Structure 1
Amino acid sequence: MNRTELKNKIKEISNQLITDKGFICSIDILCELGILSKAQIKDWRFGKIPYLEKVCNKNLGTLTFINRTIKEIAKDKNLKQSWTAYNKFGKGVKSRLIFSKTREDNIENAYATHYIDTEKIKELKREKAGL
């Protein structure tokens, strides 16, 4: 899949995620693209994987492109940025999970940022409440 096809696929996935959840985030998009499996994400959340990029089946250039594309889509759709803490699941100390081997702030923040459609979230909450 070339970059144009990948960008179009990310846009398609983003639109579906906004419709279903009211937000987009890197983890969901990587999972939908088949770059990460739900089992790998679960293992990472429980601390069995030292950093998330270790189990991604794409190179770092592609992962950077995906995160940049997500940010562009969010900007085009006027989505609100919301940094989200990813902490370890399970027993013991709830330490912060790591996305990249380098632990650089800009990379960690790119993965941890969710982009929220505030109007869609309100609509989904009303639907859930049965109004």
Structure 2
Amino acid sequence: MKKVTVGNYRTDKFYLRIVKATAELLTEQGYVAPAQLFQKMEILTETDIAAWRRGRLPYLEKAIRCNLAKANRILRILRFHAHDLNLKPSSTMYLRNQPGNRMPLKFTKYGDKKLEEAYARHLISPRLKVSKQYAETVGVTEEKAAH
């Protein structure tokens, strides 16, 4: 498998699926979250995401229905595509959805910093203002993630 670069990512076999899922998410909610993108691409299910949010899965990648090299490839292509669309990256904190136990959730088994950041980075349409409601819903921090 060739490395995904700025010069070749549009020819990757996942590119069109990413474009379609991104367009659907932007139309529905005005932003793209990688977990939701994977759900649109049928790599994760809503049940998997809910179990992870409740702390029933130790990390999200455990439920991904493809090998992790492909998942990382999708994240990389998403980052390039988001740049083309001028989507604004926003770092997001994911917390366990249990009363009295709001611990941070992990995306990866070993907690690789760059991958954790890639999974937690929401990509917001420039047409959507980061409202208080959005910030409360997804836990957006004001820190802007670099491309």
1:118 positional shift: 2.6
Give matches, 1:84-99, under 5 Å. 84-99=92-107
Which of 108, 117, 132 aligns to 1:100? It is 108
Task: Give the share of equivalent positions with the same residue, in percent.
Answer: 31
Residues 54 and 97 of structure 2 are in contact (CA less than 8 Å); yes or no, is this contact kept in structure 1? Answer: yes
In terms of fraction of residues, the more helix-rich structure is 1
TM-score, structure 2 normalization: 0.77
The TM-score normalised by the length of structure 1 is: 0.86
Q: How far does residue 20 in structure 1 lie from its aligned partner after superposition?
A: 1.5
Q: Which residue of 1 aligns with 2:83?
A: 75
Residue segments in structure 1 that go unaligned for 5+ positions in a row? 123-131
Q: Does the 8 A contact of 1:86 with 1:112 survive in 2?
A: yes
- Secondary structure of 1:29's partner? helix
Gaps of 5+ in 2: 1-10, 131-147
CA deviation profile, 1:51-81 (whole Å, cap 9, x unmatched): 0001111111101011001111110011111
Higher relative contact order (CA 8 A, sep 6+): 1
- Alpha-carbon RMSD across the aligned residues, in angstroms, is 1.7
Measured after TM superposition, the shift of residue 121 of structure 1 is 4.9
